[in-house]
Structure 1
Amino acid sequence: MKSTLLKFEEFVGKYVDEDVHQFRHGLVIDDACPSEWIQKVQKIRLSLPLDSKRPTVDRRFFRDDEKCITAMIENIVGDVLESHGYRSKSFDIYCNKYLRILEYNRKGAELLPHTDGTKTCEDTNRKSSHTLLLFLSDCELGGCTVIMDGEGDWSKQSNLIVKEECLFSHDDANGQPGQQQISCNRNIDHITLGVQPRCSRIFLFPHKWPHAGEMCDNIPKIVLRAELTLVEIET
């Protein structure tokens, strides 16, 4: 398993919830999802009806009452926290059962810059803090999830293309947990980082990190989106 902790120190306190107990960083996780489980997720995806009401992205919706997807997500995030020196049992790690699968099937499709809102679980009353993306396809060109610098007119950007120097890569080729300290190299597009879609890659980040979807070149781009509660338990 390869995992990298993303520390956007300039965002802390400005784009992360004021709750001091919230986990303030992002995570990119590779090679943590068993292939059999990914095949199961794909089978569930293909069994769901396709909603094509939106012009840029098709969607499928899944209510995971039996935790056949969410339990694995919670376990993976817990294991990664442990690998980075956090005690997973000291965090409330909970994945909301309402999942969305987004499918970009048209070249040039993009997701405009925005921040995500919180979702409260109807069963547990937990309030989500993080967005989790599980990529279910590879995109060698385009389709990155883009973290914006949050400055000036970042929300007005469109037709985003990620420059090579902003693409995510693991620091440690041996697969050991790494820490990637991101400096905000501001450019005309306000792009700080682009995370390339890779099948079974997980990208987790706080709801309040400004982000967007780069224009797709390789299609389809398929990603499962979930809301996660990731907060430190008060003792």
Structure 2
Amino acid sequence: GTNHDDAGRGAGAARTHRAALPQMRFLHYDEPGGDLAPHVDLARTDAAGRASTHTFILYTRDCAEGGETGFLSHVPASRTDAATAIAAVAPRRGRLLVFPHVAPHEGRATVSVPKVLLRGEVY
């Protein structure tokens, strides 16, 4: 079922969600070298008991070099366990990246700063 608040709206009226993604947050990387180790994201549960399934990243600034979100074959279990790089998404203003929480990924080291993004969950 949908989770839209349609009370008092006529046919064709815009629909609004009851909750506006309360877990969204801005992340700022202000220094060169800022990165995030390989990981998978954890699901969050909202007030209605729904678990999130996907992560979204909205890049708010271009980074000429570095700062990519890299997708991996797996999360390495140790320093000697090398993961295969599958894809990399460069930070570009207005680019929206959506992926399943279970997708192994990393934040590659920033070179051009600042890197600023909005991150949240999709339910």
Query: TM > 0.5 between the two?
Result: yes
1:116-160 deviation per Cα after TM superposition (whole angstroms, max 9, x unaligned): 1000111x222100000000110121000010111xx63546xxx
Give yes or no for contact 2:73–2:83 (8 Å, CA) kept in 1. no
Tell me the equivalent position of 1:128: 52
Tell me the equivalent position of 1:193: 87
Alpha-carbon distance in structure 2 between the residues aligned to 1:133 and 1:100: 10
Question: What secondary structure is seen at the aligned counterpart in 2 of 1:97?
Answer: coil
1:149 to 54, 73, 78: 73
Tell me the equivalent position of 1:216: 110
Q: Which amino acid is 1:154 matched to?
A: P
Q: Which amino acid is 2:122 matched to?
A: L
Q: In angstroms, what is the RMSD of aligned CA positions? A: 1.8
Task: Give every structure 1 segment of 4 or more consecutive aligned residues whose post-TM-superposition deviation is greater than 3 Å.
Answer: none
Alpha-carbon distance in structure 2 between the residues aligned to 1:201 and 1:110: 19
2:42 to 117, 129, 134: 117
Question: How does the TM-score come out when normalised to structure 2?
Answer: 0.77
Alpha-carbon distance in structure 2 between the residues aligned to 1:143 and 1:155: 23
Structure 2 vs 1, CA of residues 113 and 106 (structure 1 numbering), >3 Å: closer, same or farther?
A: same
Alpha-carbon distance in structure 2 between the residues aligned to 1:155 and 1:95: 36
Calculate percent identity across the aligned residue pairs.
33
- Structure with the larger RCO, 1 or 2 (CA within 8 Å, 6+ apart): 2
Count of aligned positions: 103
Tell me the equivalent position of 2:63: 139
Write out aligned runs for 1:20-31 (5 A): none
The alpha carbon displacement at 1:195 in A equals 0.2
Question: How does the TM-score come out when normalised to structure 1?
Answer: 0.41
1:19-56 deviation per Cα after TM superposition (whole angstroms, max 9, x unaligned): xxxxxxxxxxxxxxxxxxxxxxxxxxxxxxxxxxxxxx
List alignment gaps of at least 5 residues for structure 2.
Answer: 1-18
Give yes or no for contact 1:113–1:156 (8 Å, CA) kept in 2. no
1:98 to 14, 23, 28: 23
Tell me the equivalent position of 1:51: none
Give yes or no for contact 1:132–1:226 (8 Å, CA) kept in 2. yes
